[in-house]
Amino acid sequence: MATKTAAAPVRMPDPRTTPTIDQVGIEERVARIKTRSIKKETKVQGMKLALSMIDLTTLEGADTDHKVQQLCYKAMHLHDSLPGLPTVAAVCVYPSLVKVAKKALGESGVKVASVSTAFPSGQAPRKVKLDDTRFAVNEGADEIDMVISRGKFHNGEYTYVFDEIAAIKEACGDARLKVILETGELGTYDKVRLASDIAIAAGADFIKTSTGKINPAATMEVTLVMLHAIRDHYLRTGKMIAMKPAGGIRKSKEALHYLMMVKEELGPEWLDNHWFRFGASSLANDILMQLQKEADGHYQSADYFSLD
């Protein structure tokens, strides 16, 4: 199976040919997955895999150098509570704090991601969005999380959305681009599918559900629709696109159901943090609690683990 990220931007998808989503079928499929039980050994392996896929995030106006440094320390030292654990995939911060995170993470292998394009609203001129992106990349960001111009999308200005994503992708240089659709605002699964197709065609390396700033954020149903867009693109082109559900995923059981869905819809090749991420900082603590329980039969208090 191919192992390269999305190619250079191609043509804008025709909205008239976007597949219509079977809402009942999507919801029934997810309901079946949620009934699955997982045996102990597989559960432990799955939780460790999910931990390695988390992007720890701090995106508040009150963020400081010290707060980012603490988050980076947590990202690198999860195994302090239980030996043999992986690090998380990335730490995500605002562009102005990328350099702080880059220095703190050093040679740990944990990526530095940065939000861009006037996150979370996306309401800024394109020049500002491009400057925002270039600044984050020049500061050392390995990954850029951009938000689409949702107002333009709601107005039906799909070509504008496509062109903007393509321009941001070019500004990323070697950094990977995650395109946030803010699915909780899109209204229907059909629009989620259209937004996914536009982002993929415009050069997204990842498609991502949410900013985490509105509700609803990630759901398994919306993620399944997006996985189908990724699958169809792969079947047409042989190119793999990554996926990131973000916001509201707090429990390890839920994360395991996501991983089941990814494996069954896309294949085991996607069960790697190069191709799948969770934007769910609080999930890390629940996984740590569950792994501790599996190791010694006792739950630690939630206060035992650091808050983000």
| pLDDT, tens only, 3-55 | 444 444 468 888 888 999 999 999 999 999 999 888 888 899 999 999 999 99
CB atoms within 10 A of CB 156: 10
Please identify every residue annotated as catalytic.
145, 208, 244
CATH T-level assignment (fold) for domain 23-297: TIM Barrel (3.20.20)
DSSP β-ladder status, 206-208 and 176-180: parallel
Sorted by where each begins, the domain ranges of the chain are 23-297
Does the global pTM surpass 0.85?
yes
**Dihedral, CA atoms, 191, 196, 197, 200, nearest 10 degrees?**
160
| pLDDT, tens only, 120-171 | 999 999 999 999 999 999 999 999 999 999 999 999 999 999 999 999 999 9
| pLDDT, tens only, 56-104 | 999 999 999 999 999 999 999 887 778 889 999 999 999 999 999 999 9
Q: Which residues pair with 152 in a beta bridge?
A: none
Q: What strands, in cross-sheet order, belong to the sheet with 111-116?
A: 55-57, 90-93, 111-116, 143-147, 176-180, 206-208, 242-244
Q: Which amino acid is at 87?
A: T
Classify residue 121 by its DSSP letter. T
Nearest to 210 by CA among 99, 59, 15: 59
Query: What backbone phi and psi angles, to 5 degrees, belong to 224?
Result: -60, -40
| pLDDT, tens only, 172-219 | 999 999 999 999 999 899 999 999 999 999 999 999 999 989 888 999
